[in-house]
Amino acid sequence: MAYRQFGDEFGELLRSGNHSVVKTAQQYLRGLMQAEKRNMERMAEAVPDSDEQVLQNFLTHSSWDYRPVMDRVASNTDALLGSRIGTGLYIDESAFQKKGEHSEWTLGQTGQLSGWSVWRAGARGSSRSD
């Protein structure tokens, strides 16, 4: 879905008080897709006419309600995949201990291993129909 189509589809749900936050939502999504690192500073650098603080406020202080957005996403997904029992979209965000010298990596402190470890992050999506 193009960012403009996203605004058309979800615009009435992305309101904070009396003003629309569609433009900021579009910039945030573009930042997620375009920035090499997904922090607000790098996202603002990757997306023209965006501002790091505005993006941060969009997530932390804006009063728009995420639940109707998630419900719409679920409904759209159901329409695309079909609503048969056993059909679904499964998203698995995982982190794996880094192995090898050529995989992408990040340093992070974990609860599973003591101290600092090198981890590789990944996400996988799949659909299923019985």
Q: Does residue 125 have a pLDDT over 60?
A: no
Tell whether the model's pLDDT for residue 75 goes beyond 70: yes
Identify whether residues 28 and 75 lie together within a single domain: yes
The reply to whether 57 and 26 lie within a common domain is yes
Please state the domain count of the chain: 2
Average pLDDT over residues 107-124: 45
Domain boundary among the residues 81, 96, 118 is at 81
Q: Is the domain of 102 the same as that of 118?
A: yes
Q: Are residues 64 and 102 in the same domain?
A: no
Element spanning 46, H or E:
helix 40-46
Q: Mean pLDDT over residues 39-59, rounded?
A: 92
Same domain, 76 and 92: no
* Same domain, residue pair 107 and 76: no
CA–CA separation, 83 and 28 (whole Å): 30
CB count within 10 Å of CB 32 equals 12
Angle at CA of residue 114, ends 108 and 119, nearest 5°:
30
Query: How do residues 79-112 score in pLDDT, each as one tens digit?
Result: 888 777 777 766 666 655 555 555 444 444 444 4
Residues 28 and 54 in one domain: yes
pTM of the shown model: 0.62
**The pLDDT value given to residue 127:** 55
Domain housing 15: 3-81
Residues 12 and 46 in one domain: yes
* pLDDT band at residue 117 under the 50/70/90 scheme: very low
How many residues are listed for the chain in this entry? 130
| Residues 38 and 11 both lie in one domain | yes
Q: Residue 119's pLDDT band (boundaries 50, 70, 90)?
A: very low
**Res 38: pLDDT:** 80
Q: Which amino acid is at 123?
A: A
Q: What is the CA radius of gyration of the chain?
A: 18
Cα 61–Cα 66–Cα 72 angle in degrees, nearest 5: 155
